[in-house]
Chain A
Amino acid sequence: MVELRKLTIDYPGGSSPGWSGRLGRPERRVPAVADVSAVFASGAISAIVGPSGCGKSSLVGAMAGLLAPSSGEALIDGEPVRGVRQRTAVIFQDYGLLPWLTVEGNAELPLAVRGAGRAERRRRVRPILRELGLSSFGGFYPSRLSGGMKQRVAIARALASEPDLLLMDEPFSSLDALTREAAQESLLEVRRSRPMTIVVVTHSIEEAAYLAEAVFVMGGRNPGSVEARFDIPENSAGSRFAPGACDFRSAPRYLELCGAIRSALRGSGPTDDSAAAGPATGTAEALG
């Protein structure tokens, strides 16, 4: 379980959240997120959705241990996050693949950083590449891969560290619509065979509603905060992977959820308060 407890993050003025940037003046600090509390259930996919600049990525940075909160804390399984944690994997928007490493080299990177030998790296990474359909591209450099393939390499790299928590920061946003859907399916496939907790940050309402069991809607800007929460039991592993489950995207309930999240994102609508209490189910019944 991942918990954010009254998390506040600010960063040096004049630059975006400074995870590793050392430029910018320390004296003036701009708040990124303020007082965010949220619980991401173990083994579930949760989504954080919000407009650009609302501080979504800062939350990922804090959970990944890349960014120290100014107050409050992020807890993983009850332990406060202090620095990078071995079993947390992060996938960034542009995948963060190193251009000078081949597909195999990139996928092996988490193990290489931990000092694993070549043979062990191969042994652990090869099955993952096979699972993601990348076996025959092991020797390719990222510049020769399509966006969808780069995305799969990023997933392979994340899986190589055998994570129990996978954080994804806008993982599919640079893919075209069809590739994006394929990438979402491949993420679900990966989740199906591994009991890990996944937190996806996205600005896509449809993506959040399709992937997540719990959608956290963020709003505001400098600082941003969590404005609403939607629970979508249809997306739980139990329902989704049940035999005979149909494509949630074609269900009326899905469209209606998208609408509710959209209203929440637009802010101070009448949906806002009720949304926080989990109204989607109620309205679904009313409409259905």
Chain B
Amino acid sequence: MKAGPGKSVLAARKAASLAIAVAAIAALWSAAAAALGKPFLPGPSATFAAFGRLAADGSLGRHAAASAGRVLWALAASFFPAAALGLAAGRSRRVDAVVAPVVYVLHPLPKVAFLPIIMLVFGLGEASKIILVALIVFSQILVAARDAARRIPRPLVDSVRSLGASRLGLALRVVVPSALPDLLTSLRVSLGTAVAVLFLAETFATETGLGYLIVDAWARVAYAEMYAGIVALSLLGLGFFVAVDLAERLLCPWRDLEG
């Protein structure tokens, strides 16, 4: 319970350091663009002009929405089953006997390499893109959930068991809240991977999504637009990151206070 600077001061400091970081990147970027003098590295001003143009005609929003939608569908399809299965495996030897081999086989596989197979099986449409992203999120959340469930301190479990809690009660009152911070951390990590993989998935057989926007601009030698697409994809990743942060603050208020 140290008396530190107030919340608003901390927020202002955070905003200031973020602004400084952005300014530093922009300065380096301009310097590199000026020094190189090549069309494939436009400066920030040209890029943001293109960004503004694409945003104004609505295409940037459309592509960003398509990409975000794919990630969200993938997330919706994979997060809850992976978390439930992982937590169950971490707490029950019987479930783990089934899940562990799957984890050891599935997790280390570079799932991106399965894109061709997924496309052959699920077609060239939306389903393939969503399934690829979902697969990656699934395996990362599964592993994190299993580890988190194993790490739950036994005294916590015993103390709630001693109150007569059922297995379901234990799961809801101890296992889930105890693993939640770890789940959100792994979600943050896997969303980063998801956005990267999405780019790859969107370079095939689609005309929507930021991945498509980038590759299409590249093909048209519209470098400023290509960079605008990259900036938009980064912003999408940042948006997910911040969203998970906010979710953590809402769902795990006790974490704010821990060292």
Contacts and interface: CB of A to CB of B under 8 A. Distances in A.
A19 to B, nearest CB: 5
Contacts of B177: 98, 100
A274 interface: no
Contact of A66 (B93, B153, B161): B161
A173 interface: no
Given A66-B161, A84-B162, A19 B258 contact: no
A217 B92 CA distance: 37
Interface string B152-195: 01111111111111000100011001101000000000000000
B164 A86 contact: yes
B259 to A, nearest CB: 8
Chain A interface main SS type: loop
A23 B160 contact: no
Contacts of A109: 160, 163, 173
A144 B1 CA distance: 7
The size class of the interface chain B forms with chain A is: 20 to 34
A22 to B, nearest CB: 5
B155 A96 contact: yes
Interface in A48-104: 61, 64-66, 84-86, 88-90, 92-101
Interface of B: 1, 91-93, 153-165, 169, 173-174, 177-178, 180, 252-254, 257-258
A98 B158 contact: no
A92 B158 contact: yes
A238 interface: no
A93 B159 contact: no
A93 B153 CA distance: 12
A283 interface: no
Contacts of A88: 162
Nearest to A146: B1
Interface string A11-26: 0000000011111000
**CB-based closest 4 A-B pairs:** A96-B159, A90-B162, A100-B177, A141-B254
A21 B161 contact: no
B208 to A, nearest CB: 41
A95 B258 CA distance: 17
Contacts of B155: 92-94, 96
